Structure 1
Amino acid sequence: MNKKTIEIINVMSLRGPNLWTYRPVIEAWVDIGDLEDSPSNTIPGFYERLTAWLPGLIEHRCGIGERGGFLLRLRDGTWPAHIMEHVMIELQNLAGVQTGFGKARETSKRGVYKVAVRARYEEVGRAALVAARDLVMAAIEDKPYDVSGTVKNLSELAESVALGPSTASIVDTAGERRIPALRLNDGNLVQLGYGHRSRRIWTAETDQTSAIAESISSDKDLTKSLLSSCGVPIPEGRMVSSPDDAWDAAEDIGIPVVVKPSDGNHGRGVSTDLNTREDVIAAFHLADKEGSGVIVERFIRGDEHRLLIVGGKLVAAAKGEIATVTGDGVSNVTELINSQLNTDPRRGESEEFPLNVITYEEEPTVLLVLERQGLGPDSVPEAGKTVLIQRHGNVAFDITDEVHPQVAAAASLAARIVGLDIAGVDLVAQDISRPLEEQGGAIVEVNAGPGLLMHLKPASGKPRPVGQAIVEHLFPEQVNGRVPLVGVTGSRGKTMVTRLIGRMLQLHGPNAAVACSDGLFLGQRRMDKNDCANWQAAHRVLMNRAVEAAVIEHGFRSILTEGIAYDRCQVGVVTNIDDDASLPDLYIDDADQVFNVARTQVDIVLPDGIAVLNGADERVARMAELCDGDVIFFSASPDNDVVAQHRAQGGRAVYLRNGQVILANGAHETSLVKMSAIGISNLDKRAYVAENVLAAVAAGWALGIASDVILAAAETFDYGA
């Protein structure tokens, strides 16, 4: 019986560094059945169908390393699992989720392959996997396939689960500085850094943004009162309680006036340049729908501007432009808006567009603006007539370099008065390059959690590095948000090594967390008695803002099925790899394949970090050349060739000589303690324990822990029977 189909038999989300790469991936096991005997060059029309559906595949370099490399493989003949890998990548790219990494590898079982593809968002990766299988099968069987519909669905899924562009700009900038990021919810709450050195952001709000300041900024009347008392120029105005009261206020202030919600945002419900009772009353009703109160204030002549203040400094500024259409004597106003404004590629409904699509539902003030001109949506303006559509809401044109220093200072003062570390200061001025007082300009609002897109992707002008400014505000130069972090893996001894290193850190001073097979420990307290040598427990440690240092155990199975919870570590320890090590249920069939799993712990050691490796284990010792940082070898024997050669090159090692634990730095040796003094029972029958002690001592040395503290930890640790 022929079985020419592709079956997805297992899917794993590897959410951190893993066997394949540093980044999260979706790993799928696929069974291609009898298609093992049908490479791509044996299927009539397959190449033409696939490339017609996905012409972007020409950009895939594949292992050949040049444009068109994958298509060359496709012509010469390759197998469905490899093709699925590239289709999965291309579908995510078309959906706006940029992906470049992918691998497909045979397993020891005929027809079964492992396919691993970078997955920025797990949900999108899983959906792209299924879509890739279906598309490849359609191309094999010469059946129709709706590529555009699939891409649309993936795009919508990506938009629903992805970080917003403002948050993403901050996270991406943090990544460039090697500051790790942990997403804390399905939205835009993100932790930058680990443990007690971490900071948190929620779009453009940070853990320094106080609730009081945010409450003040949302109360426009209170904000104006505070700004006025400190000499910041503001428009006169007051809260009003009814349409009649709004007109009374307008008369007291003097027309023209502005009517707006007291706690609105994004310009919704704001009506400007109002001169008649009818206009003010109509504007009151619009504003009343948007907020909990209504303000009437003096109309300031000029353009709207948004100044972004971060940590007291101006980092970006944008200007608004009036939206108009020109009549043609045939089209009505609605048709003119759609043809002359909404066709602008800079307008869209999602966050990625700097300008909004103009609709009467989203922008009800447009109807009032038209009414004041004697027009309605169905009116047909005469040819050449300019019709005002929107006086505000288009603040997306970069003018950062034009801002007068005194204007920047006034905006910075306004943010400080309200108490916001990050603020969007709205002001109206005719010329932003002149002081406000000279032109009767004024600050009209101070906003918490300001949008960043107008500065990241302005409708015109230069994009501004606002994400960088926020990261620098949270993490001054040389601060990377990391705590001392040790990762431990190996075939044997890793739990004991993990706990002994944790004991050293506890005596050293930091509030150290330990996640291992024996449970989860914070300081002297056992938080969880279950096996915590896994991704979830490690993630709990990294999120805990009381943690000042961490030691985390990883088994080979955990690395293969979950990935490592952190991106990089200061110290990576590999205790050993047994000669008979294997995980056949995961298609890891021998110790040489286990080597590729264990090396993950060494691959993620920071450039200024240290790998602690067993010099007596040939496979583990080979990992030294893979480490970005330094290496400390440990060995029961000082005569080990690896250790001797390493010392000859000035390297560090920990070993036993005449029963003494020795710390060697090049040719220099320091005796730490006699092994017999540590109090390990039945040492002659538990030689592996001595090796564990050496590994932990080497890790403590790598962390910079003083010798007397390492000694005290070794002497007081409970090694069991």
Structure 2
Amino acid sequence: MKIREINAMRGPNYWSIRRHKLIVMVLDLEEMEQRPTNTIDGFLDRLKTMFPTMYEHRCSVGEPGGFFQRVEEGTWMGHVIEHIALEIQSLAGMDVGFGRTRGYGEEGVYNVVFDYMEEKVGRYAAKASVSIAEALTSGEPYDLSTDIQQMREIREAERLGPSTGSIIEEAESRGIPWIRLNRQSLCQLGYGANQKRIQATVTSQTSSIGVEIACDKEDTKHLLEQSEIPIPKGEIIRTEAGLKEAVEYVKFPLVVKPISGNHGRGITTNITNWEDALFAFEAAKKVSRSVIVEKYIVGEDYRLLVINYKLVAAAKRTPAHVIGDGKSTIKQLIDKVNADPRRGYGHEKVLTQIDINDLTLGILEEKGLTLDSVVAKDEFIKLKDTANLSTGGTAEDVTDIVHPYNVFMSERIAKIIGLDICGIDIMTTDIGQPLPDTGGAVLEVNAGPGFRMHLAPASGLPRNVAGHVIDMLYPPGSTSRVPIVAVTGTNGKTTTTRLIAHMVKMKGYKVGYTTSDGVYIQNRLLMAGDCTGPASAEFVLKDPTIDFAVLECARGGLLRAGLGFKNCDVGIVTNVAADHLGLKGIHTIDQLAQVKAVIPETVLPDGYAILNADDDRVYNMRKSIKCNVALFSMDERNPNIKRHARNGGLYALYENGYITICKGEWKMRVTKAVNVPLTFDGRAAFMIQNVLPADRKS
């Protein structure tokens, strides 16, 4: 079998308006076209052995075991590969389930279509599924575990982190569009002039100087101390000699940590002797040139999350640990904890697996323990110095019991440092009492705090903290979008796009538009060439200077990657003709019409699909859309127009030499066609037709 091409859909597409993330693999079965599964000895048994969980695939049979039934009866290898691609992604921890296999228009060649969550994983699954199918056919052994692990690692490297992901998920739930700007966590919410940006939990509104202060623990401690916020006694040092002086000044027990850093890197707590202090100093120096030595505060570790200068969540954090049962070794106890289905690799799940490293072994050694030690029943064995979730710690939501003084203090700290989103770490014996009364202290103020402990605590109520971020970025009454007019069709797209852009510009908008000859921002050509695909649409929608977008959308980009936007306000289809047939698996005019229909099907419910009533294929698109419909026609006697008029619909006509706008029986003559220069004194009927859909926006 031979893979001809693999395309990744990233927006509404020919295969699905609703499912944007689809892999479309063009697969040539070659000689396997003549070998359905029921003709391959042992194929079904080998498939069941490798994928017993595939029993849940119902397929067209509609019941568990349905796919196995299809394989037993005989199905083609493209169909099998579709199911394998879905199953291996599921085994790697991804929630996928949609698939289709359809003929490409050539004998033995198929479009194999299936869901993905991360594009690189989807592409990997496409290739791996073909290799697996070939191994199952030949009976050769295949190492599936390597593929599963590789896909997990790719997903972890490519996916948005839990904090960024929660903000994006909340934005999507409110209909706010978004664009990922890099392979990390930099994302754009909204379009054009109404866009905002986030990078993890730092926003485009976050103060740069506030972030700098929070990242410099010395400056943070200084500002808090000046503001009468309780902080631990401490010193900033760089040398071993400085460490000796700091130990004499602060006295044991101590905490040693780098002056800059995150996720608990380089931090050692509850140091009680010089040897451990020196070891901790060297560990901190690996993270930062300067090191803080401060008094160890007895108590529990709490994180207070402040968004838009209001406390929205609080969590009690516990370092990675095990509880003895009197019979299991520490290593066995760790394995049991890691077997918790809530724990996963990195940020894969709500909790992270506990990693055994030198720090863990050192903590155990201090207590005279090893991984092979058996500890007493109910004995608490700490495995990490810090309570970060990223090192296997757990969190308990305590938002509802934070003392009002501590609420006031946390909101005041956010103002003092100047952070719209910050995480405040405090140590206290009782979060339900004022911090000064317990002898507790503020340990750190963090810019870009993680949300995972609040979104999915190990115990207590989950808090939708991402909702507070969206409330801050887009308060009630604000908008995240800019108006989008999308234009498609076989002929007339560019003319119609340019005409609409010109009219909108005359209304005072700052317009970005795409055409087959380039991308224009405020009437300036910024990219030359055929720019009718999704990348060009995104170029316009990412531009912060535009407040209106007019986007020409051609078939090529739609088939290659889908649309570059989720919804539009107006979708125009000029016509569908027999051009470009035989390319990308589109062999008939009806198939081409289905490609073009993607545009009107993405129009928002209160928007308009503007359709050519003189073209039956375009006119029939109205049956599958969920928005208002406006028509245009060169023939006032067109029965489609008459029917639309009787229903009170909006339409544009070329009538007695006039371009006319109508609604029901009401008519308004806009101008004579001869007065529109591009109609060549009214002689170019095709240009008059291009004017009619554009006139809706005038």
Q: Is TM (by shorter chain) over 0.5?
A: yes
* Aligned position for 1:673: 671
* Aligned position for 2:26: 29
Asked if the contact 1:167/1:203 (under 8 Å) is kept, the reply is: yes
For residue 265 of structure 1, report the CA deviation from its aligned partner.
2.1
Asked if the contact 1:329/1:380 (under 8 Å) is kept, the reply is: no
Q: Which amino acid aligns with 1:392?
A: T
What is the aligned length?
689
* Aligned position for 1:404: 403
Asked if the contact 2:682/2:688 (under 8 Å) is kept, the reply is: no
Report matched runs for 1:379-458 at 5 Å: 389-393=383-387, 394=393, 396-458=395-457
Asked if the contact 1:179/1:192 (under 8 Å) is kept, the reply is: yes
Asked if the contact 2:176/2:481 (under 8 Å) is kept, the reply is: yes
* Aligned position for 2:654: 656
Change in 2 beyond 3 A, CA 1:77/1:341:
closer
Residue 92 (1) aligns with residue 86 (2): no
Q: Distance in 1 between matches of 2:371 and 2:156?
A: 34
Residue in structure 2 matching 1:625, options 620, 623, 628 = 623
* Aligned position for 1:287: 284
For residue 65 of structure 1, report the CA deviation from its aligned partner.
4.4
Report matched runs for 1:580-595 at 5 Å: 580-595=578-593
Q: Which amino acid aligns with 1:178?
A: G
For residue 597 of structure 1, report the CA deviation from its aligned partner.
0.7
Q: SS where residue 583 of structure 2 aligns?
A: helix
Asked if the contact 2:26/2:104 (under 8 Å) is kept, the reply is: no
For residue 613 of structure 1, report the CA deviation from its aligned partner.
0.7
Deviations 1:588-632 (A, max 9, x none): 222111111110111111122211111111111111122221111
Q: Distance in 2 between matches of 1:426 and 1:371?
A: 28
* Aligned position for 1:706: none
Q: Distance in 1 between matches of 2:324 and 2:558?
A: 65
For residue 638 of structure 1, report the CA deviation from its aligned partner.
2.5
Q: Which amino acid aligns with 1:428?
A: M
* Aligned position for 1:70: 67
Give the TM-score, by structure 2 length: 0.91
Q: SS where residue 486 of structure 1 aligns?
A: strand
Asked if the contact 1:324/1:390 (under 8 Å) is kept, the reply is: yes
* Aligned position for 1:687: 685
* Aligned position for 1:715: none
Deviations 1:152-198 (A, max 9, x none): 22222222222223222222222222222211112221112221211
Q: Distance in 2 between matches of 1:455 and 1:251?
A: 39
Q: SS where residue 231 of structure 2 aligns?
A: coil
Residue 598 (1) aligns with residue 596 (2): yes
Moved more, 121-130 or 136-145: 136-145
Residue 475 (1) aligns with residue 474 (2): yes
Q: Which amino acid aligns with 2:204?
A: D
For residue 272 of structure 1, report the CA deviation from its aligned partner.
3.0
Change in 2 beyond 3 A, CA 1:602/1:341:
closer
Residue in structure 2 matching 1:121, options 102, 118, 123 = 118
Give the TM-score, by structure 1 length: 0.89
Asked if the contact 1:349/1:357 (under 8 Å) is kept, the reply is: no
Q: Distance in 2 between matches of 1:182 and 1:206?
A: 15
Asked if the contact 1:178/1:480 (under 8 Å) is kept, the reply is: no
Q: Distance in 2 between matches of 1:321 and 1:697?
A: 64
Q: Which amino acid aligns with 2:400?
A: D
* Aligned position for 2:515: 516
Q: Distance in 1 between matches of 2:516 and 2:41?
A: 54
Q: Which amino acid aligns with 2:153?
A: E
Change in 2 beyond 3 A, CA 1:11/1:290:
closer
Deviations 1:483-508 (A, max 9, x none): 11111110110100000011011111
Report matched runs for 1:229-240 at 5 Å: 229-240=226-237
Q: Distance in 1 between matches of 2:467 and 2:461?
A: 15
Asked if the contact 2:581/2:589 (under 8 Å) is kept, the reply is: no
| Structure 1 unmatched runs, 5+ | 1-5, 701-709, 711-721
Asked if the contact 1:243/1:285 (under 8 Å) is kept, the reply is: no
Q: Which amino acid aligns with 1:628?
A: K
Report matched runs for 1:315-394 at 5 Å: 315-321=312-318, 335=331, 338=334, 350-352=346-348, 354-355=351-352, 357-361=354-358, 363=359, 367=362, 369=363, 373=367, 375=368, 377=370, 389-393=383-387, 394=393
| Structure 2 unmatched runs, 5+ | 388-392
Q: Distance in 1 between matches of 2:490 and 2:296?
A: 74
Q: Distance in 2 between matches of 1:677 and 1:386?
A: 87
Moved more, 665-674 or 268-277: 268-277
Asked if the contact 1:257/1:273 (under 8 Å) is kept, the reply is: yes
Q: SS where residue 171 of structure 1 aligns?
A: helix
What is the RMSD of the two structures over their aligned residues, measured on CA atoms?
2.8
For residue 327 of structure 1, report the CA deviation from its aligned partner.
7.9
Moved more, 89-98 or 673-682: 673-682
Asked if the contact 1:321/1:391 (under 8 Å) is kept, the reply is: no
* Aligned position for 1:152: 149
For residue 247 of structure 1, report the CA deviation from its aligned partner.
4.5
For residue 210 of structure 1, report the CA deviation from its aligned partner.
2.7
Q: SS where residue 320 of structure 1 aligns?
A: strand
Asked if the contact 1:355/1:396 (under 8 Å) is kept, the reply is: no
Deviations 1:226-256 (A, max 9, x none): 1232333322323234444444444444554
Change in 2 beyond 3 A, CA 1:419/1:184:
same
Asked if the contact 2:486/2:570 (under 8 Å) is kept, the reply is: yes
For residue 84 of structure 1, report the CA deviation from its aligned partner.
1.2
Residue in structure 2 matching 1:195, options 187, 192, 196 = 192
Change in 2 beyond 3 A, CA 1:661/1:387:
closer
Asked if the contact 1:304/1:395 (under 8 Å) is kept, the reply is: no
Moved more, 567-576 or 657-666: 657-666
Q: Which amino acid aligns with 2:591?
A: Q
Change in 2 beyond 3 A, CA 1:541/1:285:
same
Asked if the contact 2:100/2:113 (under 8 Å) is kept, the reply is: yes
* Aligned position for 2:9: 14
Q: Distance in 1 between matches of 2:346 and 2:174?
A: 29
Moved more, 51-60 or 615-624: 51-60
Q: Distance in 2 between matches of 1:96 and 1:295?
A: 41
For residue 387 of structure 1, report the CA deviation from its aligned partner.
5.5
Q: Distance in 1 between matches of 2:7 and 2:329?
A: 55
Q: Distance in 1 between matches of 2:320 and 2:512?
A: 57
Q: SS where residue 597 of structure 2 aligns?
A: helix
Asked if the contact 2:652/2:695 (under 8 Å) is kept, the reply is: yes
* Aligned position for 1:53: 50
Change in 2 beyond 3 A, CA 1:342/1:13:
closer
Q: SS where residue 8 of structure 2 aligns?
A: strand
* Aligned position for 2:208: 211
Q: Distance in 2 between matches of 1:170 and 1:236?
A: 37
Asked if the contact 2:324/2:333 (under 8 Å) is kept, the reply is: no
For residue 430 of structure 1, report the CA deviation from its aligned partner.
0.9
Q: SS where residue 416 of structure 1 aligns?
A: helix
Moved more, 461-470 or 688-697: 461-470
* Aligned position for 2:554: 555
Q: SS where residue 298 of structure 2 aligns?
A: coil
* Aligned position for 2:390: none
Q: Which amino acid aligns with 2:30?
A: G
Change in 2 beyond 3 A, CA 1:669/1:127:
same
